[in-house]
Structure 1
Amino acid sequence: MNRLFWRLLPLTLLALLAASAVLYVLFSRLYGDPLEDIARRQAAAQLFVLEHYIDAAPRDEWLERLNKVREVSPQRYELLPLDEALRGLSRAQQERLQAGAVVLDVAGRRLLRRVDLQGERYVDSEREVLRISGLPIDVAQALRQEALRWGVVALFLLVPLALWSRLHWRGLLALSRTAEAWGAGHLSARAETPASTSLQPLAQGMNQMAERLAALLEGRRHLLHAVSHELRTPIARMGFDLELLRDTDSPAARGARIDALERDLAALQALVTELLSYSKLEQTQLQREPFDIEDLLRQCLGAQELEGTARALQVQIAPDIGRMCGDAHLVARVVGNLLGNALKYARHEVRFSARTLPAGQWELRVEDDGPGIPEAERQRVFEPFVRLPQTGSLPGHGLGLAIAARGVALHGGAIQIEKSALGGACLVVRWPRGGQT
């Protein structure tokens, strides 16, 4: 048996005991003492003789019938003074006896009742009490029956509880072993629990967490590898330029070397800036505020036009595009990266369009007439530092689309690449106006 069951067992038994005590108190207040009711049923024969034989006698024959019953009954019939009979009774029993009711003394196996209240049966009969002792009352038997009843209830309750706790405990042990494996560095381990158990949602959450951690660590490993590769080229060029700078005496040559060093330094600065931007997105908390989508898109388009690009830019923004709740700075960064990417790879023309969609979404499309992106590479280009062979001669570090994809995901949207009607690539973004994740 498992520890979970042994911890639940005393709690269950205590709960059953508490339930029986509460029921006893509740029934006592509503219907009278259950033990007294049992004793009354067990003494029904004596009560019948008292009420239907002795009490049914004429006034002058009451004592005579009482004596006849004394002679044949195994019980002891006694007449006691009222004051003596009241001693040893509780206040409630005294009140009932004073009122002429039958009072059962369960522990003493006897009953008491006043002879009468008006003294009609004999002289001073109102001051005497009839006590019948030795009644066939066995409350212990009734208590044993009640204990047996509650025992059966406990058994039928504990058996399914044991089965459930065993299954639950096995699931907890499986989760514990999985957590220990993760602690040892084996993130490939997965929590396996039956789908019917209540631990299944927890196991799924743990597995998703492990997959996320594994993906983050793998991404971090690839990122470090890619960063080292990207940094190696400009650093090597700077080292080469420094060596040439030491070996040359010509002012023109020294100036050319210094210019080359400045270009490499600017490339390093741009790379570090992009890396910081990407790393911040991995840990960012969105500052959600409502903003006008059309105004933001117009600002992004104006910033691109200020760069003096010679490509033709066609813009189509729906007039009813409305407002969005999200991080305006991040949305502007996403739009700027997508638009800048299209302008960099386009030969002559870029199309930019935005419109509303059903179910509270809006869509952004950026198309170009450049070399396009092969279908097999359309998911990989959203990874950091991924650059296709046909774009290797163009400046960049392969972080623009990775930052854009992360920004779209943080707003609960999705980004995909399609074939453009212009012959190049078409990047499509769909996200909710509310920006829920």
Structure 2
Amino acid sequence: MLSNVRPWAAVVAGISWAALTLYLLWQCANASVFVGEYSFLRLMAGPGYLVAEQLKTLPADQREARMETLRARFQYPVHLVNIDDIELPPEALIMLRHQQPAQNSDEDITYFPLDGDTLIQFGPMWGTAEVKDLLQFPVYWITACVAALPVLLLLWLGLRARSRRLNDLEALDACIGTLARTPNAMLPAMSKEWTPLLQTLQQHAQDITAMGERHREVSQAVSHELRTPLARMRFALTLMGKSEDPVTRTRLQERLLTDVEELEALVRASLAFARMAGAPSDLQHEPIRIREWLHQEFALLDGHHRRLSLETDPTDLELIGDRALLHLIVRNLLSNAITYARDQVCVSAAYHGQHHLVLHVDDDGPGVVAENREKIFEPFVRLAMGGDEPGGFGLGLALARRATQWHRGELSVARSPLGGARLSLILPLRPL
């Protein structure tokens, strides 16, 4: 606990404690000469009486000379004063009239009556203790040493905390440099207060590295995919420049248009995949009736000759989710199933536990072998199925899985009861 005290706080506390200690020592020095008023008056009654007895028998003009001789025997001032020249409280005047010593208002001067007009003044009695006087007493040295222990302890703790903080900052600076080069590097041993920061920095470094890998992966894949259509286009343009046959030129133009469309499709798919690199922050959750929504998705599929069937249990199955994100997922799952199905695609939906829904997309195609079931979700991975040449760009299922993750769901592939592939989508019924 003490190690977490800020260095400047420890220094301030130490200085404050030292000032308080010195103040208390000074107060002790001043208080050490204090005597209660009543005891002091009793103490001064004897010297006052003796001095008065010495002076009363002398004429007035000889009293001052005698006082000069007596003054040498006292350690404090002694004078003769006229009662009319001083100001005394009423109770002091009463005591003097009764031949008793009295004090002034400040209680630092004592008066003893000599006659009706003259008083013997003792004092001022108290003075502020001097440093040289204090240093003569060992008790003050001992008190000062004992009082200084907390000061030294706080200063030591402050310097230790400052040294540890500087070491932690140096280690943190070195760790940040290491994480920038190697995000998975082992974190250094530091104070517990720095652990959350280091873990967050490491997570950010890993995220940035993963993002860079994804962009590098996309860039390499896109550049690879661009080579084939660009080469065909370059070859077609060369032939067009050499050929005068209208039929040949028309065929080459059609081929060029096909390659342009392929390039446009590749660019659209790559941009869609790049946009999915980060989690969307504006998901619009709304109630979606599964059966009605899937029928709408079926209606958007054109140009295929597969039998589509739908089963939902119960028929009023519903979830709350983002319609655009779910459309992206299901559209790619259906497109993949239609591409590889021989004749039939079956979609089924049901509850999966109490808080989730499962959606199966089954086809009767060649299926996916076990060792390739994770590869098909990687971007730009196209696997030959049933001896057919792979089509598309290998981004559909990668987009579907990434969108599923943003929707807090799971997407996997297994063997279908129809003999082909079964793509299983598990989604929460309510936003998490």
Deviations 1:232-261 (A, max 9, x none): 122222333334444555544443333332
Select the residue among 17, 21, 37 that pairs with 2:15: 17
CA distance in 2, matches of 1:396, 1:53: 112
CA distance in 1, matches of 2:116, 2:355: 99
Alpha-carbon deviation of 1:41?
Answer: 4.4
CA distance in 2, matches of 1:417, 1:36: 86
Is contact 2:178–2:185 with CA below 8 Å preserved after alignment? no
CA 353–65 in structure 1, closer or farther in 2 if over 3 Å, else same? farther
Deviations 1:36-55 (A, max 9, x none): 752464125xx15x533743
Is contact 1:317–1:355 with CA below 8 Å preserved after alignment? yes
Determine whether 1:55 maps to 2:52.
no
Alpha-carbon deviation of 1:335?
Answer: 1.9
Alpha-carbon deviation of 1:407?
Answer: 1.6
CA distance in 1, matches of 2:398, 2:245: 44
CA 256–158 in structure 1, closer or farther in 2 if over 3 Å, else same? same
Equivalent residue for 2:198?
Answer: 203
Select the residue among 379, 397, 401 that pairs with 1:401: 397
Equivalent residue for 1:42?
Answer: 32
Determine whether 1:273 maps to 2:260.
no
CA distance in 2, matches of 1:79, 1:371: 128
Determine whether 1:410 maps to 2:391.
no
What secondary structure is seen at the aligned counterpart in 2 of 1:401? Answer: helix
Is contact 1:300–1:336 with CA below 8 Å preserved after alignment? no
Alpha-carbon deviation of 1:389?
Answer: 2.8
What is the letter of the counterpart of residue 52 of structure 1? Answer: S
Equivalent residue for 2:166?
Answer: 169
What is the letter of the counterpart of residue 173 of structure 1? Answer: E
Equivalent residue for 2:76?
Answer: 76
Matches within 5 A, 1:299-314: 300-314=296-310
What secondary structure is seen at the aligned counterpart in 2 of 1:366? Answer: strand
The range that moved more, 335-344 or 128-137, is 128-137
Count of residue pairs brought into register by the alignment: 390
CA distance in 2, matches of 1:425, 1:144: 92
Equivalent residue for 2:338?
Answer: 343
Is contact 1:297–1:332 with CA below 8 Å preserved after alignment? no
CA distance in 1, matches of 2:80, 2:408: 91
Determine whether 1:425 maps to 2:412.
no
Alpha-carbon deviation of 1:413?
Answer: 3.3
Select the residue among 249, 252, 257 that pairs with 1:262: 257
Select the residue among 150, 153, 170 that pairs with 2:150: 153
Alpha-carbon deviation of 1:426?
Answer: 2.9
Greater RCO (Cα-Cα under 8 Å, separation 6 or more)? 2
TM-score, with normalisation over the residues of structure 2?
0.70
Alpha-carbon deviation of 1:388?
Answer: 1.4
CA distance in 1, matches of 2:345, 2:115: 124
Select the residue among 198, 212, 215 that pairs with 2:207: 212
Is contact 1:193–1:199 with CA below 8 Å preserved after alignment? no
TM-score, with normalisation over the residues of structure 1?
0.70
Select the residue among 379, 386, 395 that pairs with 2:381: 386
Gaps of 5+ in 1: 25-32, 87-99, 104-110
Alpha-carbon deviation of 1:273?
Answer: 0.7
Equivalent residue for 2:327?
Answer: 332
CA 259–410 in structure 1, closer or farther in 2 if over 3 Å, else same? same
Is contact 2:325–2:403 with CA below 8 Å preserved after alignment? yes
RMSD: 4.6
Is contact 1:321–1:355 with CA below 8 Å preserved after alignment? no
CA distance in 2, matches of 1:283, 1:241: 39
Deviations 1:59-115 (A, max 9, x none): x989438989x99x97537589898799xxxxxxxxxxxxx8996xxxxxxx62677
Equivalent residue for 1:94?
Answer: none
CA distance in 2, matches of 1:263, 1:77: 123
Select the residue among 169, 182, 189 that pairs with 1:194: 189
CA distance in 2, matches of 1:195, 1:341: 51
Deviations 1:181-231 (A, max 9, x none): 566xx3467363116542222222222222222222222222222112211
Equivalent residue for 1:232?
Answer: 227
What is the letter of the counterpart of residue 234 of structure 2? Answer: G
Determine whether 1:353 maps to 2:348.
yes
Is contact 2:297–2:327 with CA below 8 Å preserved after alignment? no
CA distance in 1, matches of 2:361, 2:50: 115
What is the letter of the counterpart of residue 428 of structure 1? Answer: S
Alpha-carbon deviation of 1:278?
Answer: 1.1
Find the structure with the greater CA-based Rg: 2
CA distance in 2, matches of 1:42, 1:102: 21
Matches within 5 A, 1:279-290: 279-283=274-278, 285-290=280-285
What secondary structure is seen at the aligned counterpart in 2 of 1:312? Answer: strand
Alpha-carbon deviation of 1:370?
Answer: 2.6
Select the residue among 122, 125, 128 that pairs with 1:132: 125
Is contact 2:76–2:122 with CA below 8 Å preserved after alignment? no
Alpha-carbon deviation of 1:398?
Answer: 0.3
Alpha-carbon deviation of 1:386?
Answer: 0.7
Alpha-carbon deviation of 1:385?
Answer: 0.3
Deviations 1:386-428 (A, max 9, x none): 1113276243100011111222223333333334333333333
CA 168–133 in structure 1, closer or farther in 2 if over 3 Å, else same? closer
Equivalent residue for 2:58?
Answer: none
What secondary structure is seen at the aligned counterpart in 1 of 2:346? Answer: strand
What secondary structure is seen at the aligned counterpart in 2 of 1:198? Answer: helix
Determine whether 1:222 maps to 2:183.
no
CA distance in 2, matches of 1:125, 1:427: 121
What is the letter of the counterpart of residue 132 of structure 1? Answer: M
